[in-house]
Amino acid sequence: MDARLNLFTNAVSAKALKHVVAAGKALADSTLPPATQELVRLRASQINGCAFCVDMHTKEAAHAGETATRLNLVAAWREATVFTDAERAALELTEQGTRIADAAGGVPDEVWADAAKYYDEDQLAALVCGIALINTFNRLNVLVQQPAGDYVPGQFA
């Protein structure tokens, strides 16, 4: 299976992707825990049905030491006991921010307030930007039907 369009070799998409990737690198320097960043990326990718990103972020998280149990339970995080309260707040913000069109009022104030209990302003900024970025990557990959399964940790480093 091949993608409909190679986003890396097309001049227009490659130029745009440089900027999106650069924005993502800025988040790597934030104080938001790397494990939380990967859980957020994985959950948004699951919701959006982006197989490429699910593959990528599952493997990156495992490579960084995340357990198989936690990775396997991200899709059912509400019923799982393996996530901290802070991670649960980040996952709820991720779901609400990813499913923004499903709620007429956008992200509920209670969801924001819960996240703000655990994350300072810079970490909240990283969460918001990270959620927006992974949703962008998901949409790009879903649109071009980017195949999944062959990702190798660090492939885009």
Q: What share of residues in the chain are helix, strand, coil (percent, to 5)?
A: 70, 0, 30
Nearest to 134 by CA among 2, 6, 38: 38
What pTM did the predictor assign? 0.95
Amino acid letter, residue 78:
R
For domain 11-144, the CATH architecture is Up-down Bundle (1.20)
Domain boundaries, the chain: 11-144
Alpha-carbon torsion (53, 85, 115, 29), positive or negative: negative
Band of residue 58 on the pLDDT scale cut at 50, 70, 90 = very high
Lowest mean pLDDT among 54-58, 104-108, 122-126: 104-108
d(C-alpha 59, C-alpha 84), whole Å: 21
